[in-house]
Amino acid sequence: MAHQIETAPGVHLHVEDEGSGKPVIFIHGWPLNEAMFHRQKQAVIENGYRYIGIDLRGFGRSDQPEENYIYDTFASDILAVVKELELEQYTLVGFSMGGPVAIRYAVKYAGEQLEQLFLLGPAAPSFTKRMGYSLGMEKEDVDDLMEAIDEDREKALQDFGGNFFYQDVSEEAKQELFDLSMQASKQATISAAEALRDEDLRDEAGHIRVPVTIFHGRHDAICEYGFAEELEQRIPTVTVVPFEESGHGLHVEEPDKLNDELLQRL
């Protein structure tokens, strides 16, 4: 079943809702959408859980407003979905940019119904270098990426996708990544990259009070493995599961391992 859920005046999110049992909410990365999780969706449903896949505003089949592509807005949209679907005792899964969005949600918006947090190659605590933090991209490089998207979005996203995988994945997997990326609006793609550049969750991460598991590719060239090690120092309730044969696309490169690890913890 698919829902169109209004999360703000004039903004409706596309939400996939399939299966039964305890809900598992999936939040995609930049600039993808919930369809990236189709390998996990099948495993979740077949093992007796309810799959909730949210297309963030501006991405996939959700509405594409002109503004408000910041972590706080994404997180408040998730809260609106949780309330509308009356979800209880759920797990939240965030991939890449969906990781810091999930952290923001867990700290600022989640009530006692959130049981645990899974972070997949999270772009957290900060996607870019800053004072006292040497990990991630230079802010200027994100500026260049935003400019490249504005000038030639197809080429910019193809170039970005070239860093997504460690393994030599199929052309079909590469095309899937590109196709999902192109379903986002150009404005959302640029504005969410700005949020990735500017947001800093180093202090926030320490306030998570539910169990957290981080699944991270050792060879991640987009959100380096050091992010997981940094979060491990900051989150009091964390477990890190390394993926030895994956880059950023661990859901494609080691899908069976990821599914097994997720299901063991649900």
Active site residues per annotation: 96, 220, 248
DSSP assignments along 12-27, one per residue: EEEEEEEE-SSEEEEE
CA atoms within 13 A on the CB side of 119: 35
- Return phi, psi of residue 176, to 5°: -60, -45
d(CA 69, CA 192): 5
Which DSSP state fits 37? G
Show the CA angle centred on residue 108, arms to residues 37 and 27, nearest 5°. 5
28 and 37 in contact (C-beta within 8 Å)?
Answer: yes
- Which ranges of 85-161 does DSSP label H, i.e. alpha helix? 98-104, 139-151, 153-161
DSSP assignments along 114-131, one per residue: EEEEEEES---S-SB-BT
